[in-house]
Amino acid sequence: MLCILLGVLALHLLVFILLIVSTASSQWTVEARGHTDLWYNCHSDTQGYHCSQASNEDWIQAVQALMILAVVFCFVSLLAFAYQLFRLFKGGRFFFTSIFQILASVFVMCAAIIYTVMRPDSDKDYGYSYVLAWVAFPLSLISGLIYLILRKKD
C-alpha cells in the first residue's frame, strides 16, 4: 500500500512540476532567433535581445487562463490528497483528489488544443513548453483515474 501511495504521489508531483514549467516559461513557439508565447515574445537581432509582451488577443489570454487554472487545480488536488489521506474513512475513495486532477487534465487539454488551432504562424516550430503541456495532459488524466480507483485501506 505504501509503495502504491508513494508512486501515485510521485506521479502527481511530476505532473505539477510539468504544468508549472509549461505555464511559466515562454517557449510555446520557437524560431531561429527567438521564441514567443505564452507571456513574452523575445527575439534577437543585430541590435541585441529584445523582449516584448505577448499579443493581447483573446485566444492567448484564454490559453493563459486555462494553464493557470490547471496549475491551481493540480495544487488543490495535492492538498485534497493530503487531507483525504488522513481523514477519509476506511474503504473510501479519493473522490475530490481525483475530480480536481481530472479537471486539471481537461484544462491542459483545452489550452493545448486552443493553442494548436489558433496559432497564426504554422511554419514555426513548437517549443518545449508546448510539448510539456501535451505530456502533462495524459499523465494527469492517468493520475486522476488512479485516484478514482484507489481505496483507502487503513
Partner 1 sequence: MTTKEYIFASSLCLAAPQASQAITVYTSWERHALVGSDIRLSCTFFSWRSISEDVSFTWRYRPDGSKDSISIAHFAGGEAYTDNKGVFKDRVEFVGNPKRRDGSILIKNLDFSDNGTFTCDAKNPPDIVGRPSSVRLLVFENLPIQAGVITGAIIGVVLGLLVLIVVIYYLMRFLVARRVFSLSVRSVPRLWGLCRGLRCFFGPDKNLKTLVFQGRILK
Contact residues for partner 1, defined by CB under 8 A: 53-54, 56-58, 61-62, 64-66, 68-69, 72, 89
Minimum distance of partner 1 from residue 76's CB (angstroms): 8
Residues 6+ apart with CB under 8 A from 16: 71, 74, 75, 78
Comparison of 113 and 135: residue with beta carbon closer to partner 1: 113
Minimum distance of partner 1 from residue 102's CB (angstroms): 14
Comparison of 92 and 138: residue with beta carbon closer to partner 1: 92
Minimum distance of partner 1 from residue 144's CB (angstroms): 16
Comparison of 69 and 108: residue with beta carbon closer to partner 1: 69
| Residue for grid cell 487539454 | 109
Instruction: Determine what percent of the chain falls in helix, strand and coil, rounding each to the nearest 5.
Output: 65, 15, 20
Burial (CB count <10 Å: 0-12, 13-18, 19+), residue 124: middle
Comparison of 14 and 152: residue with beta carbon closer to partner 1: 152
User: What single letter denotes the amino acid at residue 138?
Assistant: P
Contact by Cβ (8 Å): 53, 41: yes
Minimum distance of partner 1 from residue 10's CB (angstroms): 26
